[in-house]
Structure 1
Amino acid sequence: MFFMLGLKSGEVDAKSRERLHGRFTAWTDPVPFVPNSSVNALSNLPLNCLMPALSTALLIERPLIYSSLYDLATVVFASQGLSNLSTGDEKDEFDKLRLRHEVAQATKLLIEIAVVLRNLSDGGNWPMDVVHEARVSARPESTVGILQDHGRPDIDLRFREACNKLIHADGFEFGMSSVEGKMAFLNGLVQLHGKRSTRPWVAEIRIADFVRMAVRQL
C-alpha cells in the first residue's frame, strides 16, 4: 500500500525564485559581479553589491546536513512507534500529528537532502580535501533502490541517480504497512513517478539505504 503525494511541476522552483526575489529586492543598483574574490573582500563591498561567488561546499555546513538526515530517519522510522502509541480512536492525538506532518516532512527532507548532496557532488569541491576523499573512498557504495524505466529492464539505483529522481519527480508514493484497527504507518519505501521526455519512469527508494549512503558522503 502506498500513500500518494502529487507535486505540481515547477512548484518548488517557483517558490524558490519567489524567496530569492524577496531576499534581493534591497539590492537594486546594477553592479558588476566580482568573481574569484576572497571571503575577506566582503567587508569592503558596498551595501548594494552582490557577494562574491563561493563554492557550495563552503557555504553549506555539514552538521546541518547530518541534522536533516537524522530528521528524515526519525520521521520515517518513528512512524511505527507512533502507530503503536495510538489508541485507534478517530480523534487520537498521535494520529492527528502524523496526518498533519509525517508525509509532508518526509517529502520535504528527501528533496532537501537530494538537492544539497547532488549539488555538492557536482560542484568540483567535493570531497573537500584528501582526508575527506580517503574517508569517502573507504566506504563501499551500495544501491538504494530500483528504477523501472518503462520498456526497459529494471536497474539498480545508485545514490546519485536517486538524488536526481527525487529532484525531478512529479509525484511521491510512500509505502505503508497496515495495522488492524489503527492508522497504517510508513514502511521505509517511497515510489517516485516522473517522465523523461515522454517516457514515464518509476523509482522505488529504500529510505534506510538512502540515508546510509548520504551519511557516507559526509
Structure 2
Amino acid sequence: MLTIFVRTIILYFALIAVMRLMGKRQLGEMQPYELAITLVVSDLACMPMSDPSIPFIYGILPMLALLITHVALTFVGQKSQRFRKLVNGKPIIVISEGNIDVKALGQTGLSVNDLMASLRAQGYFSLDQVEFAILETNGKISVLPAYSSGEVTCGDMNLPEKPVELPYTVIVEGRFMAENLSLLDSAPSEIEIANKLKEIGLEQKDVFILTITQSKIAVVQSYDGQMSSINF
C-alpha cells in the first residue's frame, strides 16, 4: 500500500515535469501530435501507479522517450515548413467573402451545425456578419468580420438602434429543420419557403443553409455559393 502511495507521488511529479518541458499550451491549442503524446504519457504514468508488479522504470522510460520525440518533432517543425505542414496540417478557409466553402468544409469533417456553433461562440450569429472564417491547425476557427470594428454605430449618431434578432437555421444541406421553424412567430410554411426559393431559381435540394429571423428576413446560400436575401 505504501509502495503504491510513494509511486503515485513520484510519478505525479514526473508527469508534471514532462508536461512542463513539453510547453505551456492549453489543451485547445495543441497540435494533433502534441495531444496524442499527452494522452499516451498520461496513460503510461497510470500503469505503474495501479500495478505494483510493473517495474517503476517502465513508466519513467517511455515518458522520457515520448518527451524526446516531442522535442525532436517540435525542433524539426521549426526548421522545416514542409515537415510542419505534414505533421500539423494547414489552415483551411471555410468561409470566403461571406460564403461557406462547401468543398473545404467537407474536407475538415465539420458539419454546418458545427461551423455555426463555432461562429456563435465568437459572437457571430448570422453568415452576413462574417467575411472570412479559417479553421486553424489546432481546430479553432478564426473569424474576420464583414464590417470594420471601427464602424460608426447608431448610438454614436444618437439614432434609434434596430433590435438585434437571432437567426434560426431552417434548412441545412437541403433538409428542413421543422423544430427550428416552429420557434418563429407566424412562421412561413414550408410551401411558402419553397415558393420563395423558386423565385430566386432554387429548389430545396439546392440550399446549403437558410436562416430566418423573427422579422421574416431570410439569408440563403446555395451549394454553388450564391448568397441571397428573402423577405417573407
> Greater RCO between the two (CA within 8 Å, min separation 6)?
1
Give the structure with higher Rg (CA).
2
- Quickly name the TM-score band, shorter chain normalised: under 0.3
TM-score by length of 2: 0.24
